[in-house]
Amino acid sequence: MTRDRARQFTIGSPVRCSDGPCGQLRRVVIEPVDRILTHLIVKSHYRGKASRLVPLDEVKSLTRALDEIVLYCSLAEFETFERALEMHFLAGASGHWGYRQEQMLTWPHYRLGLGAGPAWVADETPNMSAETAESATATATRTFTRDRVSLSGFQVRRGDRVQATDGPAGRVQGLVVDRIDHRVTHVLLDESLLWNQKRAAIPIGVVIDMTDGVRINLTNDQVRHLPPVELDIQE
């Protein structure tokens, strides 16, 4: 991932692939954990074609005289990039970037707070015995520390459905990312779907499948009893 923080792109600039023009720069996408610009959102020249999410690594050059952005990829390769759906992102970005808020989108990534610990009890309920709770805590802690998924290539998106073992549990609000090793530790659920309860953070160790939404090895009642996870940035 390109980490050039100094490069500035003018919103509205024409964008050209290696074999011809492909569109116009619409917005930039910010990674809030690393605090870097990661992607450009390029609106296609062609009616009916979707805007594309272009990785910053694809930028070959920036022609200042024409304010033109030149990409390494061909027009055919450009069309294979992920569609840029605004529902997958958060509006604006904190800090100073040289862009207006409406010109930026942010990945829905939340950093763990300094006080956030690894302990989690998968089966903790009011009726659980002390012995069972202690055993579950030990098992879950080992699972948590082992199952930390690299953020690179992570395909879960904001708005994806979350399915518990006994039915729908809500939708993904974002991902909780460790600010030290940049690995995903939790999937954050949208609080509006949690029966007026706190926002729940699902430990990545209980995610069993991510091919069509997110399937977790928890019941909805267990989701409601998950302990809070401390975040260190404002939502």
What is the tens place of the pLDDT at every residue in 95-122? 889 999 999 999 999 987 755 544 343 3
Tell me the C-alpha distance between 207 and 140, whole Å.
Answer: 13
Tens-digit pLDDT profile for residues 184-220: 999 998 755 445 545 688 999 999 988 889 999 999 8
Tell me the C-alpha distance between 63 and 80, whole Å.
Answer: 24
Cβ-based burial of 80 (10 A; exposed 0-12, middle 13-18, buried ≥19)? exposed
**How confident is the model over 65-70, as a mean pLDDT?**
82
Instruction: Tell me if the pTM is above 0.85.
Output: no
Residue 76 domain-assigned (yes or no): yes
**How confident is the model over 138-152, as a mean pLDDT?**
51
Q: What is the CATH number of the domain that holds 66?
A: 2.30.30.240
Tell me, yes or no, whether 63 and 135 share the same domain: no
101 φ, ψ (degrees, to nearest 5): -60, -40
Tell me, yes or no, whether 89 and 167 share the same domain: no
49 pLDDT more than 90: no
Residue span of the structural domain in which 46 resides: 14-107
pLDDT of residue 153: 62
Q: Are 184 and 125 in contact (CB under 8 A)?
A: no
pLDDT of residue 125: 38
Residues with Cβ within 8 Å of 154's Cβ and at least 6 positions away in sequence, in order, are: 175, 184
